[in-house]
Structure 1
Amino acid sequence: MERLESMRAEAGRNDTPRAGSGRSDMPRRDAGRNAVPRAGAERVGPPAVAFHHATKRFKSSIAVNDVSVAVEEGSFVTVIGSSGCGKTTLLKMVNALVMPDEGSVFVQGRATSELDPVELRRSVGYAIQGSVLFPHLTVEQNIAYVPSLLNKHDRRRTDAAVKKWMDLVDLPSTMRARYPAELSGGQAQRVGIARALAASPDILLMDEPFSAVDAITRSSLQDELKRIHERTGITVLFVTHDIDEAFYLGDRVLVMEAGRAVQYASPHDILSAPAVPFVDKLVAKRRAAYLS
């Protein structure tokens, strides 16, 4: 499958919103889990994902309300807010599982309304809560599912992709023949991440991927994901209810309230200069720990 590189050349044909400020530096691995990334230099180039006055209604309620946000290439953006504030709906707009009623969503410079949804979804990895693996397929077959569609006449490329991503998410080769029912929660989640990455997408969407595992496993998975992002440079949008997780993983954090994007900034800026009372209340108990 041709990925979305060819679409980038046509990015100028759309009025795509650009990022207002650059991604912040990632915290050093030895800086501790309370380290907060600080603002860094501005990046040049079109955003990987951009929401332009995006609005989505479900019956009488507004799930996403006039959101305009640009996600820079290679950034790790965490999305946080109360239940029902529109986080998941916003995420699903990126791979066209949900289409906006008003406004537009752009992926690498092209409106999702102009793209073939099947091709788009093959170029955007998607990992959700509980991993949702195919129960009748082995670990190897789950990870190979999309690569085998793309490399129908080249089994070696598929095998190489499976090995690469199993290694990167720290899954031993002895697990290749296991079925999902034989895996622990953490192992299943690692398989889900490997499957989402196996087609080498430019963008990875993650919706509460670690919420179903215990605290120790969750911490380990966070570190693994951070390492994968640092090694691959993939653009990540990560929905979470956990503010500590949002600050640890994200170089930028999008805070949503009642369908609106109320602040989009580095963790440090959100902690030191909350834009609205909702954000101030959200971070108040953690401000001293993170900024000390």
Structure 2
Amino acid sequence: MRTASAPISPPPSAEQAEKARTLITRLLGSLEKAIRGKREALELVLCCVAAGGHVLLEDVPGTGKTTLAKALAVSMGGQFKRVQFTPDLLPTDIVGTSLFNPQDGTFRFKPGPIFANVLIADEINRASPRTQSALLEGLSEQQVTVDGETRTLPSPFLCIATQNPVEFHGTYPLPEASLDRFAAQLSLGYPPEAEERALLTEQRGPKPATPLEPVCTLEEVVALQRAVEEVRMEASVADYLLRVVHATRGHASVRLGVSTRGALLYARMARARALASGRDFVLPEDLKAMAVPVLTHRLVLDTRARYAGTDKQGLTRELVSSVPLPR
């Protein structure tokens, strides 16, 4: 007996793709008022937003990570929350807890900071693995389970987690299962000299010289994420993606390559980049451009390569360049 198949969503039209590109351009222009001289990094962050993914920022203190998260929340008219991860932080400090009301003998749920549109998990590697794991369900399924009850997080939901690559004393490195849930890893770095000089002359107080205003609504961001899901990927391009992923699993210096979850996020990020370019289809160039930020942090080097100081970004570029482009 034949069963009815689920309807297939049509790909976004050229007009919808151009509308999505315009929305991303507006958000980019707003973010550049707060973070100067980092257009490429900001474009990657917005691709994560469009793909419904999360960002791991590995950078030294004072480079604008929290400013970026706040600017993004304001720009899309969303709610911003921040959690400073410390060794004594508990999972309930993130997801929330149930409080007893003695007046009527009932429990009332008090939401944690994860119930926001943009959450910055500052210095995530300073909390214990038990506390780090409180984020896993939210990052993967946009929900949390507290006291046996599942609660949905706001939509859209973006987590920006930060790590300090210099100071490792008293830290707990993120396990592979946690790293795999972040769509991309990147760094902002210091701004160019001209931009840093402009900051010194224009900003005289603790607040930015140019206050930000919302440039879109949360509903528009959700619609953008739905449009990304409908971007076409031809079979030849999908095969190219799989060959890149398989190359990471078979390299002699790699103990653990890209997972299936990582491959799916890789495809979504490529779709987001295509839509940001005003296209309704993915090109191999989209996959090449997203390879380093999306794949590098998923590679686990073997012992010999790790102690030899193998550069994982360089290894990712080498793997991608070794895979022939589709004809």
Range class of TM-score, shorter chain: 0.3 to 0.5
TM-score using structure 1 length: 0.39
Using the size of structure 2 for normalisation, the TM-score is 0.35
* Between structures 1 and 2, the one with greater strand share: 1
Query: Whose Rg is larger?
Result: 2
* Structure richer in helix, relative to its length: 2
